[in-house]
Amino acid sequence: MSFHSSTRHRPMHSTPDLFDSAPAAREAIADGAWLLRGFALDQAKLLLDAIQQVAAQAAFRHQVTPGGHTMSAAMSSCGQLGWVTDRFGYRYSEQDPLTQQCWPAMPPILRQIAVEAAAAAGYEGFEPDACLINRYETGAKMGLHQDKDEDDMDAPIVSISLGAPIRFLFGGLARTDKAADWKLEHGDVVVWGGPSRLFFHGVAPLGKRAEHPLTGPVRYNLTFRKVRV
Ligand code: MD3
Ligand code: FE
């Protein structure tokens, strides 16, 4: 995977030419979690096209939580399994409840970048069977939660941010652990494995002025998961 050199963090006096041939920068942001700034930048347009192709078959929808709240982020899924919530609970499902059809196949361009990002973070052989797609419009957010509906807790989760920037929050294994605050921007990829796989996390409301030339005032987040062992 190529890497946008201007997004690299280099020591102030290092020689740019030497540094430019180094592997993509990875920043440790928690125990087992790596931030790969700009890892998906070169492919961003293709990824956005693939999202639209998925959404043409499995429309973005605002799901309802078991507590009766309508989620502010709209969601879709592709791959073998999609994540569904309704009044009865959360679960992974092989069918889209809106169409009663299988979810669209995971576009190869999506799978490929997720597998490459996992490997770049030290998780070789990642085989995602689900890709969840979140769409945030102005004010949309996601409260602090853990991702634990997957059977396979050894596999990492890979997340790709596209479009408008957002403040991402993550804490620790307990809901009350102090949450750190990171800005996630277009093209950023985060790989969550090891202990961080079960850390509480969420995103602050998409800001009124947050936008990106390719998406306008909209942010997409892709998360790749291995659900079945
Ligand atoms: C840390 N999505 O879909 S991505 C989700 O920006 C979700 O749409 C957020 O949380 C979003 O479940 C955050 C970053 C992320 C994703 C999964 C994680 C961080 C994670 C799983 C475990 C720990
Ligand atoms: Fe999550």
Instruction: Report yes or no on 195 lying in a domain.
Output: yes
Q: Distance between CA 123 and CA 139 in Å, rounded?
A: 34
66: its two tokens: 């078991």
Region for 100 from its dihedrals, namely left if φ exceeds 0, alpha if ψ lies in -120 to 50, beta otherwise = left
Q: Examine the pLDDT at 21 and tell me if it is beyond 60.
A: no
Number of compact structural domains in the chain? 1
Three-state SS annotation for 49-113 = HHHHHHHHHCCCECCECCCCCECCCEEEEEECEEEEEECCEEEEECEECCCCEECCCCCHHHHHH
229: its two tokens: 């062992």
Which CATH number characterizes residue 181's domain? 2.60.120.590
Ligand 2 (single-atom ion) residues, CB below 5 Å: 147
CA 209, distance to chain mean position in Å, is 22
Instruction: Report yes or no on 1 lying in a domain.
Output: no
**Nearest atom (ligand 1) to Cα of 199:** 23
105: its two tokens: 């196949």
Q: Which of 23-37, 198-212, 213-227 has the lowest mean pLDDT?
A: 23-37
Radius of gyration of the chain (CA): 17
Task: Look at residues 150, 191, 147, 155 and name the one whose alpha carbon lies nearest to residue 173.
Answer: 147
- Residue 183 β-bridge partners: 167
- The mean pLDDT of 46-61, rounded to a whole number, is 98
pLDDT confidence of residue 85:
96
- Please report, rounded to a whole number, the percentage of residues in the chain having pLDDT higher than 70: 90
User: Which pLDDT band holds residue 2 (cuts at 50, 70, 90)?
Assistant: very low
Tokens 């939660």 map to which residue? 145
What Cα–Cα distance (Å) separates residue 151 from each residue in 12, 70, 110, 167, 195? Answer: 44, 25, 22, 28, 16
**Nearest atom (ligand 1) to Cα of 221:** 8
Residues 6+ apart with CB under 8 A from 191: 33, 34, 36, 117, 118, 120, 121, 123, 156, 157, 158, 159
Q: Examine the pLDDT at 17 and tell me if it is beyond 90.
A: no
pLDDT averaged over the chain? 92
| Mutational test site, ligand 1, from 131, 154, 159, 188, max ligand atoms within 8 Å of CB | 159
| Antiparallel, parallel or unpaired: β 89-93 and 82-86 | antiparallel
Instruction: Report yes or no on 35 lying in a domain.
Output: yes
CB count in 10 Å sphere of residue 185: 18
Instruction: Report yes or no on 19 lying in a domain.
Output: no
pLDDT confidence of residue 16:
47
pLDDT confidence of residue 14:
43
Ligand 1 contacts (CB < 6 A) are: 132, 134, 142, 147, 157, 159, 170, 190, 192, 196-197, 199, 201, 203, 221, 223
Residue nearest atom 14 of ligand 1, based on CA coordinates:
159
User: Phi and psi at residue 84, in whole multiples of 5°?
Assistant: -125, 140
Q: For residue 118, what are the domain limits?
A: 25-225
pLDDT confidence of residue 9:
40
pLDDT confidence of residue 25:
82
Residue nearest atom 5 of ligand 1, based on CA coordinates:
223
pTM, to two decimals: 0.91
38 three-class SS: coil
Q: Examine the pLDDT at 70 and tell me if it is beyond 60.
A: yes
Instruction: Report yes or no on 11 lying in a domain.
Output: no
Instruction: Report yes or no on 67 lying in a domain.
Output: yes
